[in-house]
Amino acid sequence: MFQIIPLLRKNIMKPFEKISENLSPLQFHVLLFLKDKKPRSMSELAAEMNVLKQQLTFLTDKLAENNYVQRIPDDKDRRCVKISITQEGIRYLESFKKDTIDKMVLKLERLSVEDLNELHYAIQSLYKITTRL
């Protein structure tokens, strides 16, 4: 694990770390947590993401500025604000996904069919085993 993690980071993760000039990786993760889910309170989202509510407030400020999320007042509790992804946020994620796939295809094209099959099997095995941890 100590040998593979740096290689994975360098060869697979690093090229995609720069999510956007506008967003940090944590802000990107906020969008991923909100996608395909109902609006959630800041407390719920902070707990789900395992971040402090104050940190989440800072993260969502920038996302709201870019029109990627919206704050929705709670009808039942005026102190509570729910966060929801906007259509612009969904478009951003879809565009990022397409760009990421295009970059990954370029990286994987360098591999032989045998290497691709071996990589596929290794990823499946790693996924299956790590879900049991």
3-state secondary structure the chain: CCCHHHHHHHHHHHHHHCCCCCCCHHHHHHHHHHCCCCCEEHHHHHHHHCCCHHHHHHHHHHHHHCCCEEEEECCCCCCCEEEEECHHHHHHHHHHHHHHHHHHHHHHCCCCHHHHHHHHHHHHHHHHHHCCC
How many residues in total does the chain contain? 133
Number of domains within the chain? 1
Q: What average pLDDT values come out for the chain (133 residues) when binned by 10 residues? A: 83 66 83 89 91 91 94 84 94 89 88 95 92 89
Residues 6 or more apart whose CB falls under 8 angstroms from that of 103 comprise 15, 16
Which residue in the block uniquely carries the two structure tokens 């996924």? Answer: 127
pLDDT at 17: 63
pLDDT at res. 16? 64
Domain range for 112: 4-130
AA identity, residue 5: I
pTM above 0.85, yes or no: no
CATH number at residue 48: 1.10.10.10
**Quick one: pLDDT at residue 19?**
57
